[in-house]
Every structure is written in C-alpha cells, then in structure tokens.
Amino acid sequence: MDSPVPPRPTEPRPRRRDRHGRGMRGPVAPPQVPLSTSRSESFRDLVRDSVDRLERRWPQLAEVDFVVMEVPTPQDDTVPLGSSVPAGKDHPARILVYRRPVEIRTKNRDDRALLVHEVVVEQVAELLGLAPESVDPRYGQE
C-alpha cells in the first residue's frame, strides 16, 4: 500500500537548529546584566556617568558634544587619551575620549572609571580655560 507524500511547502521555514540539535541558541545572558553589554557600551556608560557628574556643577556642558572614539588619529610619538575641539560657527564644542588607549592603561573597571573621569575633567578644563581642580574639586584625589 502506497502512502501519499505530502507536498513540500513552497516557503521554507526558518531553521533554528541543525538536525543534530546544535546551532544558534538564545542569548547567553539577559539584557539587564553587565555580561550582556559590550566593552564599548560599558566604556560609553563610564563617560556618560562622568559627564552627568560634571553637568550638575557646570550646566554649560549641556551644549558640548561628548564623543567616544576607538583610537586617535596618528600624530606625534605620544598617544592622547582625549582631546577637545572648541566650538566653531558650524559645529558645537566637542570633547573626544579615546577608548582603546584608556583601556590599555587600566586593569579593571574601577581604575578605568577613575581614568575616564580624569580625562573628561582635563578636557573640560582645557575647553573652559580653567584648572582641572576648579572643574572638579576631587580631581587627583581618588
């Protein structure tokens, strides 16, 4: 007795696993735990925390763009951790923080947070024409 073979569907269904039960699985960690954030997102959060801390004291920083870049453009023999660009007629003032040079100089997240804050304070001080200690009284003490 012959049994009829059903026709194949015209549209293939998405295959989530291969025939051995291996293949793509769900995420390793839920999105709310630190494991799920990338290093660049974590670094961006450190910069944002530092900026938020300074904006409470210096409201004019709301008009400044804070940008995180991977690496600086090649210049001299030194590698900067950050730089500031004053406002022009067609762009607002910008402060650049370079992620890879900062990460290379630190061993853990706490050291990285301190160095990021120091770099941001130094660049804000340069942009405003002030001493870093007047921008953040705790500069250099932590």
Give the mean model confidence (pLDDT) for residues 21-44: 75
Residue with the bigger pLDDT between 70 and 19: it is: 70
Band of residue 1 on the pLDDT scale cut at 50, 70, 90 = very low
pLDDT for residue 4 is more than 90: no
- Here the tokens at position 1 are 């007795």
Residue 59 amino acid letter: P
Burial 98-123 (b: 16+ CB within 10 A, else e): bbbbbbeeeeeeeebbebbbbbbbbb
Which of 15-19, 25-29, 118-122, 137-141 is most confident? 118-122
- Here the tokens at position 125 are 């001080």
Q: What is the pTM of this model?
A: 0.74
Short-list 106, 128, 124, CA closest to 50: 124
Give the mean model confidence (pLDDT) for residues 110-127: 94
Round the average pLDDT of the chain to a whole number and report it: 84
Q: What's the pLDDT tens digit per position in 68-101?
A: 999 988 877 788 899 999 988 899 999 999 999 9
